[in-house]
Chain A
Amino acid sequence: NAGVTQTPKFQVLKTGQSMTLQCAQDMNHEYMSWYRQDPGMGLRLIHYSVGAGITDQGEVPNGYNVSRSTTEDFPLRLLSAAPSQTSVYFCASSYQQTANLNTEAFFGQGTRLTVV
């Protein structure tokens, strides 16, 4: 079972470069999200999606774009990388338990991004 697959696992960017972090899930989950993990700050929500064609901002959306053209895929785009975006990025998906409560999240392996 693949679950949630993230690519790449590691990436080094120069300031100003752009890139896309890929995320795919094969569990038919409606809800997908992107978090960044920084020491002492836990996981902070960047963007999330409640279904194909629907996305919304999380806690720290600036500098990131997302789209959800299919149920399976939820890519995260960095438009112009900055050193402050050096972090570990996790994609997660979950099933909607009720109209607005989700079950547990299934996480990808993470992408360690360094911006120099």
Chain B
Amino acid sequence: AQSVSQHNHHVILSEAASLELGCNYSYGGTVNLFWYVQYPGQHLQLLLKYFSGDPLVKGIKGFEAEFIKSKFSFNLRKPSVQWSDTAEYFCAVNTGGFKTIFGAGTRLFVKA
């Protein structure tokens, strides 16, 4: 069965530190890849997405992610985090069959 693994469940960073959140999926076919963010008390919002083309995709608020097909990975990065980036981040994969599978999420806490 397809699955999505997020390596870190909790991450604590100081402001201005660099961020990288890992995401790996298990599926050999065509995929659509997403990162969603959930700020405290809010619903999930799309951060960025990859459908095809340039494997380095840029999203909102300075986030980017790189799709490495050979590694089945779609890691999220941000060079300098802010306190307002405190949220939970979900990697998601749509593998066809009309299902989008979510990872367990990574809670990021940024210390001011």
- B residues contacting the other copy or chain, number (CB 8 A): 26
Contact across chains for A104 and B98 when beta carbons are under 8 A apart: no
* A100 surroundings in chain B (CB, below 8 A): 96-98
B46 contacts A by Cβ under 8 Å: yes
Given A42-B105, A101-B30, A101-B32; A33-B100 close (CB under 8 Å): yes
CA distance A42 to B104 in the complex (A): 4
Cβ–Cβ contact B32 & A97, under 8 A: yes
Given the known interface contacts A40-B9, A104-B34, the answer about A90 and B96 at a Cβ–Cβ threshold of 8 Å is no
Measured CA separation A5–B98 after assembly (Å):
21
Q: How far is the CA of A41 from the CA of B92 in the complex (A)?
A: 13
C-alpha spacing A7/B9, complex, angstroms? 30
Interface residues of B (CB under 8 A from A): 6, 9, 30, 32, 34, 36, 42-46, 49, 51, 90, 92, 94, 96-105
Q: Which A residues have a C-beta under 8 Å from some C-beta of B?
A: 31, 33, 35, 40-45, 48, 50, 56, 58, 90, 92, 94, 97, 100-105, 107-110
